[in-house]
Structure 1
Amino acid sequence: MGSETSKSKKHATQLVEEEVQLLLKNTHFNRQQIMEWHQGFLKDCPKGKLDKKKFIEVYKQFYPSGKADKFCSHVFKTFDTDNSGEIDFVEFLIAISVTSHGDIREKLNMAFNMYDIDKNGKVDSKEMEQIVTAIYDLLGEENRKGENSPSKRVEKIMNKLDINGDHSLTKEEFINGCLQDDFLKNLLAPNA
């Protein structure tokens, strides 16, 4: 009997009350909306999990002219909060809530977490350049020369946001800098 419970929990096809309560506290959705989202999620992911391949497939539909793979890998890692290699419904809905309904600081926080590739609490130039390149790929940006090259773009971003001059951005530097500069906010956190 115990293995049956863990099995259904493992496959996440059933939404348990504990998960509903967690989502009610951590999203902007009500119980009925959570149930509707869950039905839709199971329609697309019958096993209750979204793997990276399927995630990229879905994301590519929104950016048909760009190369979504690199950017999606970063987004996927951000949404896969338990590092399982799959996104379960709870992770999915929390991420959807933040990106669609969250306040500006929540969205910038999520963007920072995506940029902090090595998860050390700071974003350095190398990480920022990987993300800017991935954003360029996603958007199909072909002009990558001179001032619009990823390295030049990152140099400008770092010069503007790196307040303490340590060649990396803390979450606070990133969020405060983006809040003060609409251009950077739109580039680095487009949904914010």
Structure 2
Amino acid sequence: MFLTAFLIPHCAKAETNTQPSKHPLHTRLSNFQELEQKKKDKHLRQTKSIFRTKFTETEISQWYENFQKQCPTGRITPEEFEEIYTRFFPEADAKSYARHVFRSFDTNDDGTLDFKEYIIALHMTSTGKTTRKLEWAFSLFDVDKNGYISKTEVKEICQAIFKLIPPEEQKKLPEDENTPEKRANKLWAFFDKKDNERLAEGEFIKGVIENETAMRLIHYEPLKH
């Protein structure tokens, strides 16, 4: 608001003055705009280099513009992310699951999501390749980010998933998966691991691909009415 008040009179002067303004504010603003454009172009180039065959330059540019409009700071906070998930699951408690999803997207662990992390998340979760989606699913279950999944972590994510399921749907679940603990036990059994053993990414992907039930258990799928 204050910046606009300063700029208006200088813009008016520019119409009657053939010489470019030398006012320090103009110089600083011009430098700022040039820097912001360079940052934007660099960000788009870096992002585009990740997905050379997936998204077009135009698509990424449009997403970037929308991202900046929705997130003027250029970053999404955990609280904002939780609000987004809450809107998708109005009848459930989505905060716990949202925190885990946010953590899996926050690749540099700075507590926010920037545009590059946002577009990587979009790519990982929307691509048609099952293995790509399962790579992201592994990062979701790998709560401590040590490159392995433990049964304790499976239980933690299953608890978060269970909170997404409306109470009425919970009543219709099979007997062997109608609690978070049962769901976790059933899922862990597909990997042929002891309770104190760890699961590597390749083992996780292979186990899920080979079992349709495991594929269903790693996320929430609303019951068909």
Query: Does TM-score exceed 0.5, indicating one fold?
Result: yes
Partner of 2:198: 168
More strand by share: 1
Q: Which residue of 1 aligns with 2:45?
A: 21
4+ residue segments displaced more than 3 Å: 141-146, 162-166
Q: Which amino acid is the alignment partner of residue 111 of structure 1?
A: A
Identity %: 30
What CA RMSD, in Å, does the superposition of the two structures yield over aligned residues? Answer: 2.7
Give distance in 2, aligned partners of 1:13 and 1:63: 39
Shift of 1:22: 2.6
* Shift in alpha-carbon separation, 1:61–1:161, aligned structure 2, 3 A: same
Give the one of 104, 109, 128 matched to 1:83.
Answer: 109
Find the aligned partners of 2:95 and 2:76 in 1 and give their Cα distance.
15
Q: Is the 8 A contact 2:104 2:140 kept in 1?
A: yes
Cα distance in 2 between the residues matched to 1:46 and 1:137: 31
Matched residue, 2:153: 127
Contact 1:132–1:154 at 8 Å: present in 2 too? yes
Structure 2 residue aligned with 1:183: 213
Q: Write the distance in 1 (CA, Å) between the matches of 2:179 and 2:220.
A: 19
Alignment length (residue pairs): 184
Q: How do residues 1-192 of structure 1 correspond to structure 2 at under 5 angstroms?
A: 14-17=39-42, 19-27=43-51, 28-141=54-167, 142-143=170-171, 147=176, 148-162=178-192, 167-189=197-219
Post-superposition Cα deviations, 1:55-84, rounded to whole Å, max 9, x if no partner, equal 111121111111111000000011111111
Give 1:120 deviation, angstroms.
1.7
Secondary structure at the counterpart of residue 155 of structure 2: helix
In structure 2, list runs of 5 or more residues that go unmatched.
Answer: 1-27
TM-score (structure 1 length as normaliser): 0.84
User: CA-to-partner distance for each residue in 1:89-138, whole Å, 9 max, x for gaps?
Assistant: 01001101111125111110111111111112111111101101101112
Higher-Rg structure is: 2
SS of the residue corresponding to residue 37 of structure 1 reads helix
TM-score (norm 2): 0.73
Cα distance in 2 between the residues matched to 1:63 and 1:116: 23
Higher relative contact order (CA 8 A, sep 6+): 1
Give how far 1:189 is off: 4.8
Structure 1: unaligned runs, 5 residues or longer: none
**Please, which moves more after superposition, 61-70 or 135-144?**
135-144
SS at match of 1:92: helix
Secondary structure at 2:149 match in 1: strand
